[in-house]
Amino acid sequence: MGLGVVNKKQPITPVSKFQTMFGVDKRALAAFRVCIGLIGMYDIIERWPDIKAHYSDEGILPRSTVSEVFWNKSWFSFHMMIGSIEGIQILFLINILVCFLLTIGYRSRLNMFLHYLFVISLQARNNVVGHGGDVYLRVISFFGIFLPLGSVFSIDSAFKRPVLRLEKKKFVLTNFVTFSIICQVIFLYVFSYVHKTGDEWRVDYTASYYALQLDYFRTFLVDYIIEFPNALKLMTILVLYYEGFGSVLFFSPVFTAQIRALGAFGFTMLHIGFGAFMRLGIFSPTCATGTLIIYPTWFWDKLFNYLRTRERTDFKIYYNGRHGYNITALVSTFLLLPDVEISPTPIFSDQECCFIQTNNGLHNIFSPSGLIGNNNNVNNGNDINDGANQNDHINEQLNNWIITRDIKGNQYTGYKAMVSVCKVSPILWPLVSVLELPLVTLYGKKVLKLMERIIVFISDDILVLKPKSLTKEQQTQIQQIQNQKQQQLLQKRNELLNGTLLDSSNEDIIDNNNNNNNNNSEENNNEYALLKSEEENEINCNYQRKLIRNKRVKRMFKGLLFNVCAVMGIIFALGWNCNNVNCGIPVTLPQSINWLVFMTRMDQMWSMFSPRPPAQHWWYTFEGELDDGTLVELWNNQGLFTWIPNVEPYTREKPNPYPDCIGNHRWFKVYENLNSGGSFETIRMGLGKWICREYNTRHIEHERLHRFNIVFRNEQQHLNNTRSPLPDQILWQHICYNKPQN
């Protein structure tokens, strides 16, 4: 059988300019879905060590405090229903599972909806630790609910059809939902530009210098560019005006796809640069994920053409049985290019080979001279030297679920089929040299056989319900019921026989009449059967038409509902942004619908480093006194994480390294709101109680913490790369317990 010729390059998908401007490619949605799922899992894992401090009733903000001070009655949170550490841990585990299922594309829309619910629920439980990355994650997750995220490269698409075939897909999608999510991506940059009104942004262009000097945010790469003020001014200009006007590139009337891809690449690199030079939590990866939506079909076609080779496209997979179907669906969806030919195991015979398909599996492949395996055209890892062992070899191969065929016409099964898949995979090809090592091959075959046994055991012995063994009493009852039924049948049979004997004298008289009417009755029966079959066919056709009509109506209604919800969401976003800043557009939201905005959590404000970056650097000292009168300091040297105090004499200078004393970005927001945030006194009280409780559970008797002061220390940044100290402030004085009077 000759090999089919497949061109390395495929033509670019024809897409109109309107679709390019306002549409989204389904491959972009798949990349978007994967990144959202990964970010969601990373976010939960990062929050996990702080469950007690941030999300339980034993932490800084118990539920009673949140409901009194930090709660909006339009919010939703099932994290507010549980105050124990164990309960929050269970919710976190469920959240991680939802994000994982979203990543692999299992029930994509459902899991995106659940992910969105978990995001807004967690953020409502403790919005003090939230930042811009959290806001952007929830708003793009809202629009993701209404998009077909699982249409390609997902579990949903892998098992969409009962028979796997090579199929052509239309990748571009254009509707009001795609228009809305594109607008949301643009809002992030345009309104961020509008908020940046300080002279540091608009006049002397020193904003990048001040932002990169911030001790917590700066990374080690800042040391290489901070001494070049002209380069920093150029960075400020590029960031400011690209945020304000870079989205114009998305709607170019000429070279629309190419210029749109260039514009999206610019925003992606913008966030990669932010993440390289500054610690911003999940803000940079989340915003970079949002830019994936912008890349047009032209870009994805070019990318896949770059990955196409003859070896990868002239590759075939034949599957057999239920397990072969499952394996091939997953492999072809996640590891191979869409051009790979996939089909059930064919049954054909020619001069080269013959496939024999059975219900249990795939037999060996034969040629007229015997097993092709003897001629090395099929590689399954077994050498057959004796024709007498042919039948035994066939029985061993009944569980070959897939056969692969490469560009040279070689067929593989078992472990070598897996290696051949890795060779043509754009993802796993670097592993081939390792998988072909003799030791790896030996143990790889054993592991593969073990996995086959496990799969068969799970599917046949665990997932399949088997009848339970009956007790003797149950068997006796069943036997009695069967005997009663047999007696009833015998009684009816005797009654029919008696009736037949009574009527036998009349049969001779009726026989002659029956013979005359036999021919007519047969003709009538044939006509009746024909009419009945036509009537049944018409009923079936009408039923199928009704099903198709109902399905079409449901699809249209669902599409209409999704588009309406997306348009409402983007109107909420536009109105809310314009309410918070003078955007030059007469769009405002009436106060009567604010509850809808808060319920959907489309409230947003993109004012990071606005109107200007801060020029002050701050740190804290938590200066306290133990029960025995010893003076200690708790913030330096990660004291609030290790609970090991710094005993006097201790330094009041800024810690080095500085970020280690703060912790992750969630703790940074706690300390930031401790000084200047809303309801900061409530946060100070909660943090004070938390420190007393945690410290004194680890220290006993005279080592207990009696009282402490939270001292805010800061310094002013100057353009000549120097800093001057500012006056210290005692923000809070906290007493853990009252000592008994002597």
pLDDT the model gives residue 357: 41
Maximum mean pLDDT: which of 25-29, 326-330, 507-511? 25-29
CB contact set of 280 (below 8 Å; sequence gap of 6+): 131, 133, 217, 274, 665
DSSP single-letter state for residue 378:
E
- Is pLDDT above 80 for 11? no
- Is pLDDT above 70 for 474? no
For the chain, count helices (H), then strands (E): 28, 15
Q: Among 78-82, 284-288, 518-522, 678-682, which is the least confidently predicted range?
A: 518-522
Average per-residue pLDDT in the chain? 84
pLDDT the model gives residue 397: 40
- Is pLDDT above 70 for 708? yes
pLDDT the model gives residue 494: 67
pLDDT the model gives residue 492: 64
Q: How confident is the model at residue 194 (pLDDT cuts 50, 70, 90)?
A: very high
CB contact set of 164 (below 8 Å; sequence gap of 6+): 319, 325, 328, 329, 332, 342, 343, 344
Place of tokens 């790979």: 340
Pairing of strands 402-405, 378-379: unpaired
Pairing of strands 341-344, 316-319: parallel
Give the residue from 114, 68, 182 showing the smallest Cα distance to 570: 182
Indicate the pTM of the whole model.
0.83
Radius of gyration of the chain (CA): 36
pLDDT the model gives residue 190: 95
User: Percentage of the chain with pLDDT > 70?
Assistant: 81
Mean pLDDT over residues 203-232, rounded?
94
Which residue did the predictor score with more confidence, 533 or 568?
A: 568
- As beta bridge partners, residue 713 has 619
Q: Which two tokens stand for residue 658?
A: 């500085």
pLDDT the model gives residue 368: 35
Q: 3-state SS of 44-67?
A: HHHHHHHHHHHHCCCCCCCHHHHH
Cα separation, 480 vs 414, in Å, equals 53
Reduce the DSSP state of residue 41 to 3 states and report it. Answer: helix
- As beta bridge partners, residue 278 has 218
End-to-end CA distance of the chain: 102
Give the residue from 404, 326, 332 showing the smallest Cα distance to 365: 404
Instruction: Quick: pLDDT tens for 80-99.
Output: 999 999 999 999 999 999 99
Q: How confident is the model at residue 585 (pLDDT cuts 50, 70, 90)?
A: confident
Q: How confident is the model at residue 468 (pLDDT cuts 50, 70, 90)?
A: low
**Helical segments of 145-282, H only:** 155-158, 176-195, 199-202, 207-213, 229-245, 256-277
pLDDT the model gives residue 528: 53
Which residue did the predictor score with more confidence, 470 or 711?
A: 711
pLDDT the model gives residue 678: 65
Q: Among 13-22, 247-256, 261-270, 504-513, which is the least confidently predicted range?
A: 504-513
CB contact set of 651 (below 8 Å; sequence gap of 6+): 636
569-95-686 Cα angle (round to 5)? 90
- Is pLDDT above 60 for 503? no
Instruction: Quick: pLDDT tens for 356-402.
Output: 444 333 334 333 333 333 334 445 444 433 433 433 333 334 347 88
* 612 burial level (CB within 10 Å; 0-12, 13-18, 19+): middle
Mean pLDDT over residues 399-422, rounded?
88
